[in-house]
Amino acid sequence: MNIFEEAAKRKLRFESVKGALTVEQLFDLPLTSDNNFNLRAIGQHYLGAITKTKVSDFLTGEEVKATLDDELRLSILSHIRDTRKNELDERQNAAANKRRREQLLAVLAEKENEKLKNMTPAQIEEELAKLGS
């Protein structure tokens, strides 16, 4: 079972400064922000919770349920963080590629203009005659 299916079965919610959030709402949060309503703050909260409560039940030796839920929450937050970072990287790469393409096209146009400027008057007249009136 994947982490999102497990979260749906457990009806997991994520605590934030603005109340409980669903998994779907996490995808809309910024990675960072000035107001602690972001993926980083929520992730830090659950990372701290796991670090503090990594305790097994005395009788059964099993991890406490809240810890298992928090670990699932942290796995989901990590997945969303990685997905969002990859999307951001892809957008930045696409923008950089677009700028580079525009730059190369501008240089190509300059080179073609240079070629035209270096033509003799006779070559220019010949080219114009080929094009018609």
* 10: in domain: yes
Question: Domains in the chain: how many in total?
Answer: 1
How far apart are the C-alpha atoms of 125 and 121, rounded to whole Å?
6
Better-predicted residue by pLDDT, 115 or 59: 115
* 131: in domain: no
Residue 26 has pLDDT above 70, yes or no: yes
Q: How many CA atoms are closer than 13 Å to the CA of 76, on its beta-carbon side?
A: 25
Calculate mean pLDDT across residues 98-112: 97
CB of 64 within 8 A of CB of 53? yes
* 118: in domain: no
* 71: in domain: yes
* 93: in domain: yes
CB of 26 within 8 A of CB of 76? yes
CB of 53 within 8 A of CB of 67? yes
Look up the domain containing 17 and give its range: 3-105
Per-residue pLDDT at 37: 93
Per-residue pLDDT at 58: 55
Report pLDDT digits (tens) over 44-100.
Answer: 999 888 877 665 655 566 666 668 899 999 999 999 999 999 999 999 999 999 999
* 34: in domain: yes
User: pTM value?
Assistant: 0.71
* 83: in domain: yes
Question: Distance of CA 126 to CAs 52, 71, 130, Å?
Answer: 84, 77, 6
CB of 72 within 8 A of CB of 8? no
